[in-house]
Amino acid sequence: MSQNNYVFITKQGGIISNSPTYNNIQKRLNKYSKEFGLRNINPHALRRGFAKSLLNKGANIAEISKALGHSNLAVTTQYLHLDKEEVAENLRKYL
Read off the pLDDT of residues 77-95 as tens digits, 9 standing for 90 and up. Answer: 888 888 778 778 878 888 8
State in Å, rounded, how far the first CA of the chain is from the last one.
51
Residues 69, 72, 75, 80: is their CA dihedral positive or negative? Answer: positive
Where do the domains of the chain lie? 1-38, 43-92
In whole angstroms, give the CA distance from residue 84 to residue 61: 14
In whole angstroms, give the CA distance from residue 12 to residue 18: 16
In whole angstroms, give the CA distance from residue 43 to residue 46: 5
- Helices 43-56 and 24-35 meet at what angle, rounded to 10? 80
Read off the pLDDT of residues 20-50 as tens digits, 9 standing for 90 and up. Answer: 556 777 888 888 899 999 988 888 888 889 9
